[in-house]
Amino acid sequence: MGAIATGGVRVLNPDVVGPLGIPDQVIERVTRQQQDVLRQREVAYRGTRPPPDVRGKTVILVDDGLATGSTMRAAISALRQQEPERIIAASPVGAPSVCAELDRLVDRMICATMPEPFHAVGLWYDDFSETSDDEVRELLARAKSFVTLPQSGSGLSATAG
């Protein structure tokens, strides 16, 4: 039904919320629950380090696929609050309409494949299993040996609900 991100950002998908008639109190309850999950993940990935300073920098956001784009929209909105110089968003697969919409929100949008009709992100992967928190921490630790990351490590977080 939408997504949340760091900085109090919440993006609702009107194509889901409206037709299903999801009551405001349900949206608020789910938002609070997902904010708790987001805080836990930020601590799990970053520990006590502050978020990276992206002001004036180019930030590249990557999503494994863009079905509704809610998570990417939330991440873009959270980043805008931090005043980066440029935001580049990329995904290997996305719904054409979502890629076009996101293109208007960022400095550069890259959607490698935009199948029509678009059915689901998972159809484009041999293995679309969820990445565990342990895998994320391991990948972040490995990334530090390849590139110089700010002391904060992971960057922004977003979670879909």
pLDDT digits (tens, 9 = 90+) for 38-90: 999 888 888 888 888 899 999 999 999 999 999 999 999 999 999 999 999 99
Task: Give domain limits for the chain.
Answer: 2-124
pLDDT above 90 covers what percent of the chain?
Answer: 62
pTM value?
A: 0.81
pLDDT digits (tens, 9 = 90+) for 31-49: 999 999 999 988 888 888 8
- CATH tag, 2-124: 3.40.50.2020
pLDDT digits (tens, 9 = 90+) for 5-18: 988 899 898 888 88
CA 64 to chain centre: 9
Contacts of 108 (CB under 8 A, 6+ apart): 86, 87, 88, 89
pLDDT for the residue 147: 52
Q: Report d(CA 138, CA 119) in Å as an integer.
A: 32
Q: Report d(CA 141, CA 18) in Å as an integer.
A: 41
Concatenated DSSP letters for 31-87? HHHHHHHHHHHHHHHHTTPPPP--TTSEEEEE-S-BSS-HHHHHHHHHHHTT--SEE
User: Which of the four pLDDT bands, split at 50, 70 and 90, describes residue 145?
Assistant: low
